[in-house]
Structure formats: C-alpha cells, structure tokens
Amino acid sequence: MTSGLITRRAQVAWLPVGALLLSMVSFTLGASLAKGLFGKIGPEGATAMRLAFGAVLLAAVFRPWRMKPGRNWGVLLVYGLTLGAMNLMFYMSLASIPLGIAIAIEFCGPLTLAVVTSRRKADFVWIGLAVAGLLLLLPIRHQVTNLHWQGVCFALAAGAGWVIYILSGQHVGKALGTSSVAAGTILAAALVAPIGVAHAGESLLAPATLFLGAVVGVFSSALPYALEMVALRRIKSNTYGTLVSAEPAIGALMGFFLLDEILSPVQWLAVSLIVIASVGCAVGATRSTSEAGQP
C-alpha cells in the first residue's frame, strides 16, 4: 500500500511538470506567430489582441465571475496587471531583438528567483547548468553589438515582471483556483487594450489580423496560462524557475523544425545543458515528493 501511495504521489508530481512543458511549447509557437503581426499593428497591438482573445477564451472556460476573491483582491490585481505589463514588455523587446535572445534575457528574472529561494544543494547544480547553457546562447562574443539597448531593457523589465507573476500567481492559484488565471488575463487585457488601440487603431479590425490575433491568443495566452496555473499551484517557485530554463531550448527546436533555423554545435550544446538542467530539477522534485510520502 505504501509503495502504491508513493507511485501515485510521483505521478501527481509529474503532472505540473508536463503542464509547464506544454505551456512553453504553446508560448513559443504563439510568439513566433505574433511577430508576423508587428508590421501591421505593432507589438502594442499584437499584445492587446493576444490578451483580449485569451481573456475571452479563458473566461468562457473558467467563468471567473463565480469566483469570490475576498481578501485576495489585492494580490489578484497585482497578478493581472503584472501579467499585462510583462507581456507588453516582452513583445516590445521582440520588435528590436531576436526571439531566442529576448527569452534568454527575460529568464534572468525567474533564474534569480530560483537561486534566492533554493534550499536543496542539488538545485544549484541544475541552476549552474542552466546558467552555462544560457551564457552559450547569448551572443556575447560576436553579435552583442547588434542588440538594441531598448530591446534589452524591455526584456529585462519583462524578466522582473516574471518574478512578480510567479509569486502572485502561486498565491492566487492556491487561494482562488484556476478561475484566477481568467480573471488575471481580463485585468491584463484591460491594461494593455487602450495602449494597443491607441497605437494600431482600425488596423486591429482587419479580418486577417483578427484571425491571426485569435490564433496567437489561444497559443500565447489562453492555453499556456491555463497550463501554468496548474503548475504554479503544485510546485515551488525555485522548481518553476529552473524548469522554465527549457524555454530557450524549446524555442530553438521550434525554429529548427518549423522555420529551418540551423543551430551551430555550440548552440546545440547550450540547448542540451538547459534540457539536462530542467530534467534534473524535475526528477529531484519528484523524488522529494515521493520521499515526503514515506512513513
């Protein structure tokens, strides 16, 4: 009976890991599609459409109006507004620097959180591997001079917002359940929509733009944020921070298979280090959960 209990606990521990991996695949795919909108409505308009469509879809599924925030209104507001600002800053960074570099710079936020909150010695090994992989991905030897300072600043701001998003998302997820992701996305859309309308105007209503915006909303907001809420309710912030180090690797693989982007041997090494770090952290989290269930 004890063995069966440990097995079930291990399976439960892998649920948020799988949800987070699917979230990252969906997000990187949506970000690739969103860049196609920048020439028509700019990053501001693309962010507004992404969040607006995501909010509608999430609201239809989770019906946040049934939620009773009570004393959690303040944290929910922080969660939603941070979500909107983080998305806007990230898309603004994509307007002037490459997607993979923007993700790597943005990751400085959760990586810092992982280092600060870690309690297991093994976590620092995986964090070290993730840092090594990210350093190899960053073009610090050849192309760094081509990076626009404004894009780098936007990506760093998005990374700072990511930290607040993790902490507030864990709180509202545990207190209010999955409906909180819908409520948070509605708040995020309310923050960014006026900015997007002011920038893009009637261009937002073009049929082709609306269709692509809806697709981006599904893959970049509705699906990944719903999956992330499943993960944030069940794993610690340092574990989350290390697991999402796989996002640059997933982006590189997405580019290889969908965009024919060929990586150099050094870049593949970086991808491998990040994937190993993510798998190591996931295995460590699963073992810790299993051991906690032993009498």
Can you give the pLDDT at residue 194? Answer: 95
**Domain extents in the chain:** 2-292
Angle at 273 between CA 258 and CA 121, to 5 degrees: 140
CA distance 139 to 236: 31
First to last CA, the chain: 12
- The residue assigned the tokens 């295995």 is 283
CA distance 184 to 82: 9
Confidence of residue 164 (pLDDT cuts 50, 70, 90): very high
CB 207 within 8 A of CB 80: no
CA distance 255 to 102: 14
CA distance 284 to 274: 15
Q: Name residue 288's amino acid.
A: S
Can you give the pLDDT at residue 79? Answer: 94
> Which class for 74: exposed (0-12), middle (13-18), buried (19 or more C-beta within 10 A)?
exposed
* pLDDT > 90? residue 82: yes
The answer to which of 106-110, 153-157, 195-199 has the lowest mean pLDDT is 106-110
* pLDDT > 70? residue 179: yes
Query: Percent of the chain having pLDDT more than 90?
Result: 25
Residue-wise pLDDT tens digits, 118-152: 667 777 787 788 788 777 766 555 544 456 778 88
Q: Classify residue 63 as left (phi > 0), alpha (psi -120 to 50) or beta.
A: left
Q: In sequence order, what E strands does the chain have?
A: none
Indicate the pTM of the whole model.
0.79
- Residue 76's nearest CA partner among 149, 185, 2 is 185
Can you give the pLDDT at residue 253? Answer: 76
Q: In a 3-state reduction of DSSP, which class is residue 260?
A: coil
Confidence of residue 247 (pLDDT cuts 50, 70, 90): confident
- Residue 49's nearest CA partner among 184, 193, 194 is 193
